[in-house]
A and B are shown apart, each in its own frame.
Chain A
Amino acid sequence: MTWLNDVVQGLLLGGLYALFATGLSLMFGVMRLVNLAHGDLSIVAAFLALAIVDTVPVNPLWTVPLVVPLMFGVGYLLQRGLLNYTLRGGDPLPPVLVTFGLSIILQNLLLEVFSADSQGLDAGRIEDASIRVSDRLAVGWFPLLTLLVGIAVLAGLQLLIGRTRLGRAFRATADDPEAASLVGLDHRHVYAMATGIALATVAIAGIFLGIRTTFAPSVGPTRLIFAFEAVVIGGLGSLWGTLLGGLVLGVAQTLGAQLSPGWGVLAGHLVFLAVLAFRPTGLLGKAVPA
């Protein structure tokens, strides 16, 4: 029964990873941009929520409607004012270098403003409440909420991409930016919308992370690696793959930790490497044209 419990906890943890990975997957899917500041931006969102909660004593979950649009705006401006310029010429190196630099700048800014102390967001009773399924299996309300929100965000994004005018613009621009300009799509705006939406999902991920565990200015890169692993395990360019990848990573980590407390993260990395070695397109991914 402890195994079952571990798998369930792993799935719930995977919901958080999927939430982190969604934005990374979207940005890569629309413009082949790997955002190395992704994790740090989620921590920025967590600190924004903290700043709000410190000023107005509300449950941190209530900061979501404020931080999400704020991060959308940050994402739009970041893409429009900076990242679009790194995509010129199709060289994959400039975006990597610029977002790497951005990652360092964000970490140091957070350090300057909020100090190196670990912080947490206190969501009250929901953090400890759980549903008792049996003697040895309990499902926490908050991890369950995280997983459900993760699924809802991915499903919503899938609908947006599949059914809306903006989604068509995303797909057309991803297919062929030049042909997209011929039908009147401004790739600079389309990319900025994608990054805006990506950072909106990152904001949710950051706040949920802050409630689930503690965070500090330096923990962004670890979040990036987990998100990156989830995207690759699931398959580049597939949003449902990203959900699956997050769940697989979560289960691998909890099962690994069950074998030995130090092996959790390692087990996740090993699954990631195994997928890269034996199924490089990921579990649900299609071949990505170079």
Chain B
Amino acid sequence: MLLQVDGVASFYGEFQALFDVSLEVAEGETVAVIGANGAGKSTLLRTVVGLMARTTGTVAFDGRPLEGVPTHRRLGLGIAMVPEGRRIFPSLTVEENLLVGAHRHRPGGWDAGRILELFPALADKRRRPGTRLSGGEQQMLAIGRALMANPRLLLLDEVSLGLAPIVVRRIYQALPEVVAGGATVVLVEQDIGRALRTADRVYCLLEGRVALQGPSGGLTRQQITDAYFGMRAGTGGGGRA
């Protein structure tokens, strides 16, 4: 397993956001995490990159426990995240936002040139401040910045949030090339249909717990709806593995 999350609980101060969450991702897989607002999807990704101050349970990457490894060193191991809200650096140009992504990069096929090929919309805006882009372009930049590190595991947090459907489609069209480039992808997505089409397997979180998991093709709409809204009676063969 490339990523192994086992019995994890995470807290914001006194508030517990995750309860006994376990998740496994094999190398080369694309896994989607779905769930309602506040279900703990972003918290799960933040826990994997080490941004949560208080967590219990274990997170292991390529067999190595990550306890005590700070976020910047997890990137060096090969875990990159595209954060919710994109978080482009406003003081840096588009090009510099990409270059700063390579600050602690691993060897691999991604560089600024290839990312501008992947997202041609960014190419002629290289000298602009990173925040003077449309929302979709900022999202492309955020993904490009994460790719610059040549991650083995790429975490995408709500990349479609607030974007027009056509822009979302363009961003998702780039995903196969990212996977082909060697990255294993875990994505958090509000759009269930898109999550099922994109991912090999799906986890559904409900109020901080894994309510359902399974292969994208093997789950019925009814199972997903029940898990999403918390109607336990209908979870059938799902639930925690």
Contacts and interface: CB of A to CB of B under 8 A. Distances in A.
Max count, chain A CB within 10 A of own CB: residue among B75, B92, B103, B149:
B103
A216 B101 CA distance: 47
Contacts of A171: 89, 91-92, 96
B104 interface: yes
Contact of B71 (A169, A172, A181): A181
Contacts of B71: 181-182
A112 interface: no
A269 B191 CA distance: 60
A186 B71 CA distance: 8
Interface string A154-189: 000000000001001101101110111111111000
Interface stretch (B54-62, B76-84, B204-212, B219-227): B76-84
A172 B89 CA distance: 6
A182 B70 contact: no
Max count, chain B CB within 10 A of own CB: residue among A165, A175, A183, A186:
A183
Contact of B101 (A176, A178, A183): A183
Contacts of B100: 168-169, 172, 180, 183, 185
Nearest to A182: B81
B138 to A, nearest CB: 12
Contacts of A183: 75, 100-101, 103-104, 145-146, 148-149
A175 B70 contact: no
B91 A179 contact: no
Interface residues of A, number: 17
A186 B96 contact: no
Contacts of B72: 181, 184-186
Given A182-B75, A183-B145, A186-B72, A175 B89 contact: yes
Contact of B91 (A172, A184, A185): A172
Contacts of B83: 178-179, 182
Contact of B87 (A168, A179, A184): A179
B76 A182 contact: no
A179 B49 CA distance: 11
A183 B75 CA distance: 7
B76 A184 contact: yes
Max count, chain A CB within 10 A of own CB: residue among B72, B76, B83:
B72
B92 A172 contact: yes
B159 to A, nearest CB: 14
Contacts of B49: 182
Contacts, number: 69
B96 to A, nearest CB: 5
A80 B214 CA distance: 47
Contacts of A178: 51, 83, 87
B236 interface: no
B79 to A, nearest CB: 9
A80 to B, nearest CB: 14
Interface string B89-101: 1111000100111
Nearest to B145: A183
A105 to B, nearest CB: 30
A176 B100 CA distance: 13
Contacts of A186: 70, 72-73
A175 B89 CA distance: 6
Given A176-B87, A178-B51, A179-B87, A185 B103 contact: yes
Contact of A168 (B81, B90, B96): B96
B35 to A, nearest CB: 22
Given A168-B96, A171-B91, A175-B92, A182 B103 contact: no
B129 to A, nearest CB: 11
19 contacts: A165-B103, A171-B92, A172-B89, A179-B83, A180-B100, A181-B51, A181-B70, A181-B75, A182-B49, A182-B51, A182-B81, A182-B83, A182-B146, A183-B75, A183-B145, A183-B148, A183-B149, A184-B75, A186-B73
Interface of B: 49, 51, 70-73, 75-76, 80-81, 83, 87, 89-92, 96, 99-101, 103-105, 145-146, 148-149
Interface of A: 165, 168-169, 171-172, 174-176, 178-186
Given A180-B100, A185-B103, 12 more contacts: A165-B103, A169-B100, A171-B92, A172-B100, A175-B90, A176-B89, A178-B83, A179-B87, A181-B72, A182-B71, A184-B105, A185-B72
**Which 10 pairs from chain A and chain B are nearest by CB?**
A184-B104, A179-B87, A184-B75, A171-B91, A181-B71, A175-B89, A186-B72, A172-B89, A168-B100, A181-B72
